[in-house]
Structures are given as structure tokens and as C-alpha cells.
């Protein structure tokens, strides 16, 4: 059902006060589709829709809303409604909302919640943003070591209604330390009299709460996990990170890298359509102003070779072509290397081996591009100009590629985000270097003086 059709259907059911029909529609419609439809509706409409739902479906639907819509609706909701919403929401989703709330509002909402939920929120909210602990949910199923399969099944049935996932069961000792794990399938298929220790896997892939989210998401992807257990500094099991949360982390990281690759700062917790003019200005102005000063070096290089340019005006025709080629080659190399570093395909110590390979690739690319541009050189200025332009193309592409490949490694070495080696930055550096290479070769080949 398309968004507009769904909106009118829901609106008609609300106007007709058809609670049963509305409940049936909500039950048979994916929450993600409903959330997308409501994202563009008015606050009054959305509140009326939510208040028609029972507590659990309401909390589930609210979890799918964008952060901006969640914050808007919370502004209009009563404290009792928010407390009830928090009680039925997945623990990781409610912590995200809690962290965005003003301090005074947090205290008021927490006063209306049960002690267990309060403690869970405060524990999860204590982890810094960007760490695995900040996206961990406590909605997992665990059983103690030393029990039978029959007893474990009973405990799973008792916990299942309130948990986000039950497909993996974690075995813990009396100190809540992770002893092993087993799938629900293994538990169901095992002999009921068997001991849990005999069927569980003791080599469990796990994550640490203090690890970066991206590291944990990579583990989930590498081992094809539905969820990964998370332990704290004392090796106690504090929760799990599910595959859907890992996908969100990967999407956010890819979006952030994409933004940085374009020379902007990342937009976090806000969509492009909700971003204000002032916010977009602040996210973009820094790099643009910085790169303006970077381009001064290109202008200075051109001024230095003024006499060469006056003697061979034809060289100016090839200047944009050559320096853009160096920037493009560098941007390609940088993009490939940033992604390889992000996925762990290469690490810092691989720089030297990658440098040799990149040089070889860049040489082949430069020769191909040099041959292509030589024809234009002959047509515009004769064989001497063609030789200068083709040699410059080879050198500029090689240098641009090496710079583009090396910058992500250099930034990683200094604990900076390699995605900051953005295309505009690479292009600016390659432009300045390209100008110097081009006119230096021209001076040597054409035996012309420079302007000193």
C-alpha cells in the first residue's frame, strides 16, 4: 500500500471511530510503512493515531519513527504517556530517546517508571555515544549454567514475551559472566534430560561495551550473526546488539563517510529534508573556506611561471585538463582506500605494499591518459607541446594517485577519520602539485625561463 493510500485509509478509520478496523489495519501493516506515512503527517493526527493503539503496539510503532518526529510528539505527550511508552519500548530505543531529552524532563519521566526500567535506562545511558554499550539492548534471553534442557525451555518460555529476540540463548554463571550460547533450534531438538553444558557452544563471539559500534557491527557481518552478546569490563553479560541495530550503525557510518568524502560534516540524527539553512551552512562552510586558502597555492604556482605561459599560451589550454585529471585519479585512490580501511580489508602496515601497487596502476593509467591527450597537444601546439603535456599527464596522475592513497593512511596513523581525506581535499592538493609539475616539465622541455 502506497503512503498516500495508507494515510487516507487510516484517516477514514479514525474519523469513523472504527477502532476494530484500525487495530486490524495496524496489525496487518508493517510498522516501517506506518512510520513513513506518519513522518509527514501533522502532530495532532499522529497523536490521535498513537492513542488508539494498545501500549505494546504503540511503543513498537514509536520506535520506527525518525528522531525528529519522536522528539516532536514527546513534546505534546503527557508524562504518564511517555513513562508507559518507555516501559514497553525496546531498551536500546528508549535509551536513545532518553539521551536526547532535557535533564528536567528526564527526571520527571523516570519518576513515573518502575525501578527495574529506571535502573536499566540509567545503566545503558551511562555508555558514551558511539560505543557498543550505547546501542546494547537488555532484551535478551539467558539461562543459568548447571540446569537441564527441560528447565531451560521453561525459562525461555517465561522470558520470551518480553524479549526482542529469542533465537539465541546465553548461558551465564551466578556472576552473570558469559559461559556459552546455544540456538533455540539446538535447545528444542535436544533431549530434555540433557545438561545445558553438554549442548552449548563455549567459544562465543562477543563484543566489549567500550568498543566502537563499527567494530561490533563488523563482527556481526563477518560471522553472519543475528545478535552478538556484549560484556562489560568485568566480563559480565550486559546485553546484546541485534543485526538490525548493526545495520543502522553501518548505514550511519557509510552516510557519515559519504558526507565527509564530499567535503561536508555529517548530519546526525536529522534527515536532509528537516535540516535548516543554518545547519546546512555550518556543515559545509568550514571545508569550503579552508579549501579556498588551499587553492591559493595553485594561483601562486601559476604566477611563478608567468613567463613560460606568455611564451607558450597553448599551455593554458591544457592546465584545467591536467590538474583535474590528477585530482580525479587521487579521489579514486582515496575512495578505494578509505573503504578498504573502514572494512578492515587493509591495515596501517599494508601501506608500503599498497604504495607499490598503486604506483604501478597509476603509471598504466597515466600512460593511457597521456597517449590520449598527446593528440590534442599536437593539434594545439605541435610535437613539443604534445610531449610536455603527455609527460605531465603521466607524472600528475602518478602523484595524485599516490597522494590520494596515502592520505587515508596518514590520517589513520594520527587517529583521525580517514574519510576526512575527502575528494575536495585531495583535489585541492593535487591541483597545487599538478600546476608545479606541469610548468616545471614545460620549463625543462621548452628551455624557457621562469618568472622569478
pLDDT in tens, 51-60: 888 888 888 8
- Considering the domain boundaries, does residue 320 fall inside one? yes
Query: Which pLDDT does position 452 carry in this prediction?
Result: 44
Q: Are residues 351 and 399 in the same domain?
A: yes
C-alpha cell at 314: 597553448
Query: What mean pLDDT comes out for the span 389-407?
Result: 93
Give first-to-last CA distance, the chain, whole Å: 71
Q: Which of 10, 47, 13, 231 is nearest to 131 (CA)?
A: 231
Q: pTM to 2 decimals?
A: 0.68
Instruction: Count CB-CB contacts under 10 A for residue 228.
Output: 24
Number of domains the chain is built from: 3
CATH of the domain at 402: 1.10.357.20
Asked whether residue 258 is assigned to any structural domain, the reply reads no
Q: What does the pLDDT look like over 101-133, one tens digit per residue?
A: 988 888 888 888 888 888 888 888 889 888 999
pLDDT more than 90, % of the chain: 29
**By residue range, what is the domain housing residue 113?**
3-130
Give me 246's grid cell: 548493526
Q: What is the CATH number of the domain that holds 103?
A: 1.25.60.10
Do residues 292 and 391 both lie within one domain? yes
pLDDT band with cut points at 50, 70 and 90 for residue 207? very high
Higher pLDDT, 332 or 26: 332
Please give the C-alpha separations between residue 429 and each of 10, 231, 395, in angstroms, as whole numbers.
55, 44, 15
pLDDT for 265 equals: 57
User: In which band, very low, low, confident or very high, does the pLDDT at 50 lie, cut at 50, 70 and 90?
Assistant: confident
Is pLDDT above 70 for 280?
no
**Is pLDDT of 216 > 60?**
yes
Indicate if 152 and 197 belong to the same structural domain: yes
CA distances for 192 relative to 158, 196, 199, 200, 389, angstroms: 17, 10, 11, 14, 80
Alpha helices in 382-417 (DSSP H): 383-413
Whether the pLDDT of residue 446 is over 80: the answer is no
For residues 157 and 237, membership in a common domain is answered with: yes
In a domain, 76, yes or no: yes
pLDDT at 239: 93
Mean predicted confidence (pLDDT) in 55-73: 88
Amino acid at each position: 500500500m502506497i503512503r498516500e493510500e495508507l494515510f487516507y485509509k487510516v484517516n477514514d478509520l479514525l474519523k469513523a471511530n472504527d477502532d476494530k478496523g484500525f487495530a486490524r489495519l495496524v496489525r496487518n501493516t508493517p510498522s516501517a510503512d506506518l512510520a513513513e506515512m506518519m513522518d509527514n503527517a501533522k502532530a495532532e493526527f499522529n497523536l490521535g493515531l498513537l492513542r488508539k493503539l494498545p501500549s505494546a503496539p504503540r511503543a513498537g510503532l514509536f520506535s520506527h519513527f525518525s528522531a525528529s518526529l519522536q522528539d516532536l510528539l514527546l513534546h505534546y505527550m503527557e508524562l504518564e504517556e511517555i513513562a508507559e511508552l518507555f516501559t514497553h519500548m525496546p531498551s536500546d530505543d528508549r535509551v536513545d530517546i532518553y539521551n536526547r531529552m532535557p535533564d528536567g524532563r528526564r527526571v520527571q519521566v523516570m519518576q513515573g517508571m518502575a525501578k527495574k526500567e529506571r535502573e536499566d535506562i540509567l545503566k545503558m545511558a551511562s555508555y558514551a555515544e558511539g560505543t557498543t554499550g550505547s546501542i546494547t539492548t537488555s532484551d535478551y534471553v539467558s539461562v543459568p549454567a548447571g540446569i537441564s534442557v527441560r528447565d531451560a525451555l521453561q525459562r525461555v518460555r517465561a522470558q520470551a514475551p518480553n524479549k526482542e529476540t529469542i533465537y539465541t540463548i546465553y548461558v551465564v554463571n551466578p556472576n552473570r559472566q558469559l559461559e556459552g550460547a546455544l540456538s533455540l533450534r539446538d535447545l528444542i531438538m535436544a533431549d530434555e534430560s540433557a545438561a545445558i553444558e553438554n549442548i552449548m557452544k563455549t567459544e562465543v563471539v562477543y563484543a566489549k561495551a567500550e568498543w566502537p559500534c563499527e567494530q561490533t557491527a563488523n563482527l556481526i557481518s563477518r560471522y553472519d550473526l543475528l545478535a552478538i552478546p556484549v560484556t562489560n569490563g568485568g566480563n559480565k553479560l550486559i546485553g546484546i546488539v541485534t543485526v538490525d541495530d548493526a545495520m543502522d550503525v553501518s548505514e550511519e557510518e557509510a552516510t557519515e563517510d559519504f558526507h565527509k568524502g564530499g567535503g561536508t560534516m555529517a548530519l546526525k540524527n536529522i534527515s536532509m529534508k528537516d535540516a535548516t539553512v543554518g545547519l546546512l551552512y555550518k556543515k559545509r562552510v568550514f571545508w569550503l573556506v579552508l579549501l579556498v586558502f588551499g587553492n591559493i597555492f595553485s594561483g601562486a604556482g601559476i604566477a611563478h611561471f608567468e613567463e613560460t605561459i606568455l611564451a607558450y599560451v597553448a599551455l593554458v589550454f591544457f592546465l584545467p585538463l591536467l590538474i583535474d585529471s590528477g585530482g580525479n585519479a587521487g579521489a579514486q585512490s582515496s575512495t578505494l582506500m578509505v573503504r578498504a580501511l573502514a572494512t578492515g580489508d587493509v591495515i596501517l602496515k599494508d601501506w608500503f605494499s599498497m604504495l607499490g601497487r598503486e604506483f604501478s596502476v597509476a603509471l598504466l593509467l597515466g600512460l593511457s591518459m597521456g597517449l590520449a591527450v598527446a593528440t590534442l597537444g599536437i593539434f594545439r601546439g605541435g610535437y613539443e607541446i604534445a610531449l610536455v603535456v603527455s609527460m605531465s599527464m603521466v607524472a600528475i596522475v602518478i602523484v595524485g594517485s599516490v597522494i590520494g592513497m596515502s592520505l587515508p593512511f596518514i590520517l589513520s596513523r594520527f587517529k583521525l577519520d580517514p574519510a576526512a581525506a575527502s575528494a575536495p581535499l585531495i583535489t585541492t592538493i593535487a591541483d597545487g602539485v599538478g600546476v608545479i609539475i606541469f610548468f616545471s616539465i614545460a620549463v625543462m622541455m621548452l628551455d624557457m625561463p621562469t618568472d622569478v
